[in-house]
Structure 1
Amino acid sequence: MNKLFKKLLITATAILLVICYSTSVFAAGFDINNDNTVNVNDVTFLQNEISNFSDNTDYDLNNDGKLDVNDVSYLQIEISKSSLENNTQINISCTEYKKNVGDTFTVSVDTNNNVNEITYSSSDSSVAKIVATDKHSVKIKANKVGNATVTVKQCRETVTAKIKVEKARCVDLSEWNGDIDFNKVKKSGVTCVILRAGYGKDDNQEDNKFNEYYRQAKNAGLNVGAYWYSYATTIDAAKAEVRNCMKTIRGKEFDLPVFLDVEEYRQAVLPRRTLTDIISTFCDGIKGYGFDVGMYSAKSMLVDSAYPDELASKYLIWMATPNNSYNELPSFVDIHQYSWTGRVDGISEKADMNYIYNLNY
């Protein structure tokens, strides 16, 4: 036996003595000594076969057409891999989560196996959507009221996290709300804010507080969205509002959609087809820049002046109906503005209050 061959065999045997794992479930062909287990004894058996110049192709484990020390190394790797797989242990940071619609959160994963892939799945992606993963974490977006289970799997080991998602309390704000303490807003139980970015199609119509509100709300850990107040009565005007809106929101990162606010009388008296197309033009335009989109309007205007079912099939619907409960609203409503006179700690003026139930198109 040459020195290199002997050295490789000794190394392989020493490693296997440390990590060997006896089992009867290894792939057929590795139990080459037929003792119903795969361990270091199979390596010894293979060594002897090679030393005796056996030409039994059943022992050509790496299928390279010859029997040599490379088959010993191959057997070592397979035993090591199977040992690692069968001894895998995974844990997650928490097994139960209670979140609000709009929240994005991370579940940390610990594993003693840094070789095999970890997979993640959600029992209901409309409730708990997996948005990013890596070796040690999974990022989840709570998108709808409901319950879901996120499963983390590596080899044959699985762990689960139960996710309960509840409606989100939200305020929508503009410069008319004055100075705001967003930390107090967050502590009051509000988790989301939708900020007026601006209005119309002309220059210099950005909301004077938008950038300030955006920065402070983000720093307070609130989920942020935006809306653009529309005056458009033609398709061309809607396209101009898209361009104007994008001047303001470009480069911003939102947790909630960008909404078109439609409530002008001049729009309510348009033909239903015309108003529906105006809304679609704006929403599709903003969506084309990578933003989630939706529309806001009063119930009477949306139902009487547009085609709500058509719009609801493509965009989120935010409806103002302070005199109705959510259960009384059409089934396509995703966000309910239930009050125009709310009081929230951190906001001195009366505020518009909303509940967010769903963020899925």
Structure 2
Amino acid sequence: MNKLFKKLLITATAILSVICYSTTAAFAAGFDVNNDDSVSVNDVTYLQNALSNFAEDTKLDLNNDGRIDVNDVSFLQIEISNQSVENNTQISISTKEYCKNVGDTFTISVDTNNDVNEITFTSSDSSVAKIISTEKSLAKVKVNKVGNATVTIKQCNKIITTKVKVEKAKCIDVSEWNGDINFSKVKNAGITCVILRAGYGKDPNQEDNKFNEYYRQAKAAGLNVGAYWYSYATSVDAAKAEVRNCMKTIRGKEFDLPVFLDVEEYRQAVLPRRTLTDIISTFCDGVKGYGFDVGMYSAKSMLVDSAYPDELASKYLIWMAAPNNSYNELPPFVDIHQYSWKGKVDGISEKVDMNYIYNLNY
């Protein structure tokens, strides 16, 4: 007997001896070469005899290389070994339900005894829980809207699920006027998101004096961070200049939340509705062109009376200031509700703006 063939035969026999055989349905088609309705060491013996007799039965060319030789035994060994791994796969996760807030990103980790086959992750509602990346037994998930979703995890024929429950996020927005902030205390107080003023206007040297400091500290505290740019623009050209100024300040930073245009100046409120809507669109499209998620902020009266809110809501996130209204009283297109300008949060000595984030999907 050929030494190579004998070695492969011994290896295949050893592997086959530990496989729990059922029927050929559990294995790839064509492995039951002796047609006895099972796949076992007898198929290897059958191959051995066929090779000894120089058989030319094309069905024995298991690796489809145009020849019937010892390589087909090797192929049979590997395929049955792989399918043994598949049939004996066990997967599990330690967390059956995740409770998160809008804006959070988290990782689902799967325990598996199978390092060969790919694990797939799917979400029942990507608007609520979106799978943004996978790597081996890990999936990174971003939650973007209040609601519920189920993540299904599959490896071979094994399937498990975990639920994702998403609540509104408690958010503050701050600028240099809020002074020194202990962001760790802010996080411990139940705040999960913060939107920082990056700067204002179109002229140089109009970066918020606390922006970079706040950014570093908020990130270090584990808060989800966004930014806003206070606008004075009364023309499309001025809005373009504000985009350039904003990008000088925020480029290179990574945000968990969008970049918002803050529109609240009286000089803007008295512009024609078409003009103000175009100013907002120019800024948002400009920032979006640099790869940032975008939105706009304004008071309820200004947005509704001085612009075309439905048009803007079809393209951007809407953050509305309405301290005297409940969320249910706001227009249905509102994604973030600024419900107070007089909040008190541990870690901030001054009064602070308070918000709830309900949705981060365009």
- Shorter-chain TM-score tier: over 0.9
Letter of the structure 1 residue corresponding to residue 148 of structure 2 = N
Q: Tell me, what secondary structure is at the counterpart of 1:331?
A: coil
Letter of the structure 2 residue corresponding to residue 88 of structure 1 = T
Provide the rounded CA distance (Å) in 1 between the counterparts of 2:178 and 2:4: 81
Letter of the structure 1 residue corresponding to residue 187 of structure 2 = K
Letter of the structure 2 residue corresponding to residue 98 of structure 1 = C
Provide the rounded CA distance (Å) in 2 between the counterparts of 1:278 and 1:23: 69
Deviations 1:79-103 (A, max 9, x none): 1121111111111231100000000
Q: Once the 2 structures are TM-superposed, how far is the Cα of residue 335 of structure 1 from its aligned partner?
A: 0.1
Deviations 1:94-118 (A, max 9, x none): 1100000000001111211111111
Q: Tell me, what secondary structure is at the counterpart of 1:164?
A: strand
- In structure 1, the residue matched to 2:197 is 196
Letter of the structure 1 residue corresponding to residue 139 of structure 2 = V
- In structure 2, the residue matched to 1:56 is 57
- In structure 2, the residue matched to 1:2 is 2
Alpha-carbon RMSD: 1.3
Q: Once the 2 structures are TM-superposed, how far is the Cα of residue 33 of structure 1 from its aligned partner?
A: 2.1
Letter of the structure 2 residue corresponding to residue 179 of structure 1 = D
Provide the rounded CA distance (Å) in 2 between the counterparts of 1:61 and 1:77: 11
Provide the rounded CA distance (Å) in 2 between the counterparts of 1:3 and 1:145: 65
Letter of the structure 2 residue corresponding to residue 345 of structure 1 = D
- In structure 2, the residue matched to 1:154 is 155
Task: Indicate conservation of the 8 Å contact 1:20/1:39, yes or no.
Answer: no
Deviations 1:14-56 (A, max 9, x none): 3333456443312332112222211222111211221222222
- In structure 2, the residue matched to 1:14 is 14
Relative to structure 1, the CA distance from residue 24 to residue 7 in structure 2 (aligned partners, 3 Å threshold; closer, same or farther) is closer
| Range with bigger deviation, 298-307 or 82-91 | 82-91
Task: Indicate conservation of the 8 Å contact 2:24/2:31, yes or no.
Answer: no
In structure 2, runs of 5+ residues without a counterpart are none
Provide the rounded CA distance (Å) in 1 between the counterparts of 2:64 and 2:210: 70
Provide the rounded CA distance (Å) in 1 between the counterparts of 2:29 and 2:173: 64
1:1-361 aligned within 5 A: 1-19=1-19, 21-25=21-25, 26-361=27-362
Deviations 1:131-170 (A, max 9, x none): 1110021000010000000111111111111000000000
Task: Indicate conservation of the 8 Å contact 2:171/2:357, yes or no.
Answer: yes
Task: Indicate conservation of the 8 Å contact 1:260/1:279, yes or no.
Answer: yes
Q: Tell me, what secondary structure is at the counterpart of 2:15?
A: helix
Provide the rounded CA distance (Å) in 2 between the counterparts of 1:198 and 1:64: 67
Task: Indicate conservation of the 8 Å contact 1:93/1:107, yes or no.
Answer: no
Q: Once the 2 structures are TM-superposed, how far is the Cα of residue 8 of structure 1 from its aligned partner?
A: 2.9
| Range with bigger deviation, 34-43 or 205-214 | 34-43
Aligned residues: 361
Provide the rounded CA distance (Å) in 2 between the counterparts of 1:309 and 1:223: 27
Provide the rounded CA distance (Å) in 2 between the counterparts of 1:28 and 1:315: 52
In structure 1, runs of 5+ residues without a counterpart are none
Q: Once the 2 structures are TM-superposed, how far is the Cα of residue 6 of structure 1 from its aligned partner?
A: 2.5
Relative to structure 1, the CA distance from residue 304 to residue 316 in structure 2 (aligned partners, 3 Å threshold; closer, same or farther) is same
Provide the rounded CA distance (Å) in 2 between the counterparts of 1:2 and 1:352: 82
Q: Once the 2 structures are TM-superposed, how far is the Cα of residue 71 of structure 1 from its aligned partner?
A: 1.3
Q: Tell me, what secondary structure is at the counterpart of 2:14?
A: helix
Letter of the structure 2 residue corresponding to residue 139 of structure 1 = K
Provide the rounded CA distance (Å) in 1 between the counterparts of 2:182 and 2:29: 67
Provide the rounded CA distance (Å) in 2 between the counterparts of 1:18 and 1:200: 73
Q: Once the 2 structures are TM-superposed, how far is the Cα of residue 178 of structure 1 from its aligned partner?
A: 0.8
Q: Percent identity?
A: 83
TM-score (norm 1): 0.97
Deviations 1:164-193 (A, max 9, x none): 000000000011111111111111111000
Provide the rounded CA distance (Å) in 2 between the counterparts of 1:244 and 1:266: 20
Provide the rounded CA distance (Å) in 1 between the counterparts of 2:351 and 2:142: 30
Q: Once the 2 structures are TM-superposed, how far is the Cα of residue 240 of structure 1 from its aligned partner?
A: 0.6
